[in-house]
Structure 1
Amino acid sequence: MHELVLTAPQDLVESVSDALMDELGALSVSVEDADADTDEEQPIFGEPGMPAPRPGWERSRLKALFDEEQAAETALTLLLAQDWTEGLAAHALQVVDEQDWVRLTQSQFNPVDVTPTFWIVPSWHEVPADATHVMRLDPGLAFGTGTHPTTRMCLRWIAHQAPAHAQRWDRVLDYGCGSGILAIGAALHGARDIDAVDIDPAAVTATDANARANGVTVRTGLPDLAQGSYPLVLANILATPLKLLAPLLCGHLAPGAHLVLAGILERQADELKEAYAPWLALEVLDRQEGWILMGAQRAAA
């Protein structure tokens, strides 16, 4: 395997990447900041829910993998011969050792402890000895592997509240289910008749597969699947959509139901309280690494 490393200005990154993949036989192309770890490094990602401060790095490093050295050399020659690639520069052409990429990827994901007895464990790991509740979940395309603070806070709330409330969780709604991690977590703690919905069909597919892998029953679908009222409504999305969804989510609450919201930064607490004030008095339930968990209980009939 041979790696061709190029340096490109921001306006060439997309077109050079496309040319490498579509026309010049590259097996893959990755892009990183050419000025990383220097005084010139600048972030291009903003906080969740905020626009990115810029579309890309001023200078990017493109790494293209090729099966053969000759193919990499030909790709470089053809690219540098084009009028439109002015500013593109060759950085290196080097041999890349063969690796077991599956094993390397798996080594980056370890079991996650939600509580001392509730663990999320990838399928290739042994279950920790102290685990009494275990979710088998492998990294996939949809959001939610249990490592993010918002997900862990939701699952921790479920685990802590289940002994007192799971008997009432005869219907549960996971709105914006991602990988289905919250729906599965609720099922493992005694919830029944669970609806997990998402606007992304890939998330619906992932949730269905993950539920089957964990031996629990979850009904999955697009948002119109959610009908009627639920004793527990969970939504781990982001602050802006959560504000817009306030009437819909509150409309699904049964008398005495709990609403649990995540994906919220600490500075956004007052915005969420104001958005939900016509229906509920939200309060902060948990905090972790700058994120908060918010929730409320609807008055009983």
Structure 2
Amino acid sequence: MFELSLMCPEDRVEQLSDALDALDALSVSVEDADAQTDAEQALFGEPGMPAPKEGWQRSRVTALFADEPLAREAAGLLAAQEFFEGCQILAMAPVPEQDWVRLTQSQFTPVDITPEFWIVPTWHEPPAAAKQIIRLDPGLAFGTGTHPTTRMCLRWIATHAVQGRVLDYGCGSGILAIGAAKFGATEVVAVDIDPAAIQSTELNAVANGVTLSAGMPECAQGLYDTVLANILATPLKVLAPLLCAHVAPGGNLVLAGILERQADELIAAYSPHCQLAVADREDGWILMTASF
């Protein structure tokens, strides 16, 4: 592979990226050219939502091509375009051959939820202290145990008496549903609007030796002793009546995907149904729960 690096102002990032894509770039990435300097700019956005801006005032755009001729042809064609004014080619260089599978795997190591409860990729041996583990590899669906929202949900599951029926609404990889099954739930239903998430949940359940039912949201029927929903604040607000209607008397509602600054919004949205409270915090995210 061959790497082509360019510099461009913020207002050309999208146009340049689209052009590189049309020129058969295998991938295109954008980063702050002033990163780790006094001129560095932070771009903050909510996970799952579009970035607030396409790039930085000085953006470094890097494109990967299958070979050197393609990279050089792309550089020549771009330089001849009117929109390339104010942009510049920084470098072209071969990308060293690497064992990409091993490199990717090295980025995912066991994650501790509690001292005795760990998420362990299949290529790792469980830590000696682990008495309960979930085997989970990175995949198409959200939920590998590395994000604070997932860890907080799993920590809640591990430290509470999860019994009876459990609903994981917006299951992603199925990690919360699997955790509930491992910690005592007698029936677990996992639902998601994404067919890939449903498939991922079913495969991960088999890999972990647990039994659960996975399907589309309409598969959630009746009352549950615990309802888990790790999504984002906006859909959680919309889903307030539906989620609360699924919680059995004496049951628990556990919500995540919420930033600390969004706590009051969630409390207000759920106030007609229950009294939400912050139960855990990590890296700017919160876990909110309610008892019925």
Partner of residue 21, structure 1: 21
- Tell me, yes or no, if structure 1 residue 204 matches structure 2 residue 203: no
- Tell me, yes or no, if structure 1 residue 59 matches structure 2 residue 58: yes
Match for residue 290 of structure 2 among 290, 293, 296: 296
Report the Cα distance in structure 1 between the residues aligned to 2:145 and 2:48, rounded to whole angstroms. 20
- Tell me, yes or no, if structure 1 residue 122 matches structure 2 residue 121: yes
Give how far 1:52 is off.
4.6
Distance verdict in 2 for CA 1:134–1:255, change over 3 Å:
same
Distance verdict in 2 for CA 1:10–1:232, change over 3 Å:
same
2:12 alignment partner AA: L
Give how far 1:99 is off.
0.9
Distance verdict in 2 for CA 1:178–1:50, change over 3 Å:
closer
Distance verdict in 2 for CA 1:259–1:92, change over 3 Å:
same
Partner of residue 8, structure 2: 8
Distance verdict in 2 for CA 1:4–1:150, change over 3 Å:
same
Q: Is the 8 A contact 1:177 1:196 kept in 2?
A: yes
- Secondary structure of the residue aligned to 1:232 is strand
Report the Cα distance in structure 2 between the residues aligned to 1:295 and 1:25, rounded to whole angstroms. 48
Partner of residue 75, structure 1: 74
Equivalent positions of 1:51-200 (< 5 A) are: 52-162=51-161, 165-166=162-163, 169=164, 171-200=165-194
Identify the range of structure 1 (11-20 vs 213-222) with the bigger mean alpha-carbon deviation: 11-20
Give how far 1:54 is off.
2.7
Identify the range of structure 1 (262-271 vs 143-152) with the bigger mean alpha-carbon deviation: 262-271
Q: Is the 8 A contact 2:190 2:213 kept in 1?
A: yes
TM, length-normalised to structure 1: 0.89
- Secondary structure of the residue aligned to 2:172 is coil
In structure 2, the gaps of 5 or more residues are none
What RMSD, in angstroms, separates the aligned Cα atoms of the two structures? 2.1
Give the fraction of aligned pairs with identical amino acids, expressed as a percent: 68
Partner of residue 286, structure 1: 280
Report the Cα distance in structure 2 between the residues aligned to 1:226 and 1:58, rounded to whole angstroms. 47
Equivalent positions of 1:226-237 (< 5 A) are: 226-237=220-231
- Secondary structure of the residue aligned to 1:296 is strand
Report the Cα distance in structure 1 between the residues aligned to 2:44 and 2:135, rounded to whole angstroms. 31
Report the Cα distance in structure 1 between the residues aligned to 2:11 and 2:205, rounded to whole angstroms. 43
Give how far 1:7 is off.
1.3
Partner of residue 216, structure 1: 210
Q: Is the 8 A contact 2:30 2:55 kept in 1?
A: no
Q: Is the 8 A contact 1:49 1:239 kept in 2?
A: no
TM, length-normalised to structure 2: 0.92
Report the Cα distance in structure 2 between the residues aligned to 1:114 and 1:144, rounded to whole angstroms. 13
Distance verdict in 2 for CA 1:94–1:55, change over 3 Å:
closer
Q: Is the 8 A contact 2:31 2:60 kept in 1?
A: yes
Report the Cα distance in structure 2 between the residues aligned to 1:125 and 1:50, rounded to whole angstroms. 33
- Secondary structure of the residue aligned to 1:79 is helix
2:26 alignment partner AA: L
Give how far 1:242 is off.
1.6
1:146-203 Cα distance to aligned partner (Å, 9 max, x none)? 11222111111111113xx42xx2x211011121110010011121321111223332
1:110 alignment partner AA: T
1:202-226 Cα distance to aligned partner (Å, 9 max, x none)? 3222222222221222222222221
Report the Cα distance in structure 2 between the residues aligned to 1:50 and 1:13, rounded to whole angstroms. 18
Identify the range of structure 1 (8-17 vs 196-205) with the bigger mean alpha-carbon deviation: 8-17
Q: Is the 8 A contact 1:45 1:53 kept in 2?
A: yes
1:127-158 Cα distance to aligned partner (Å, 9 max, x none)? 11221211011112222111122211111111
Report the Cα distance in structure 2 between the residues aligned to 1:121 and 1:246, rounded to whole angstroms. 33
Report the Cα distance in structure 1 between the residues aligned to 2:219 and 2:9, rounded to whole angstroms. 46
Report the Cα distance in structure 2 between the residues aligned to 1:175 and 1:242, rounded to whole angstroms. 10
Report the Cα distance in structure 1 between the residues aligned to 2:85 and 2:199, rounded to whole angstroms. 44
Identify the range of structure 1 (147-156 vs 39-48) with the bigger mean alpha-carbon deviation: 39-48
Give how far 1:51 is off.
7.3
Distance verdict in 2 for CA 1:82–1:210, change over 3 Å:
same
Give how far 1:265 is off.
2.5
1:90-146 Cα distance to aligned partner (Å, 9 max, x none)? 100112211111111111111011111111000110011221211011112222111
Distance verdict in 2 for CA 1:51–1:138, change over 3 Å:
closer
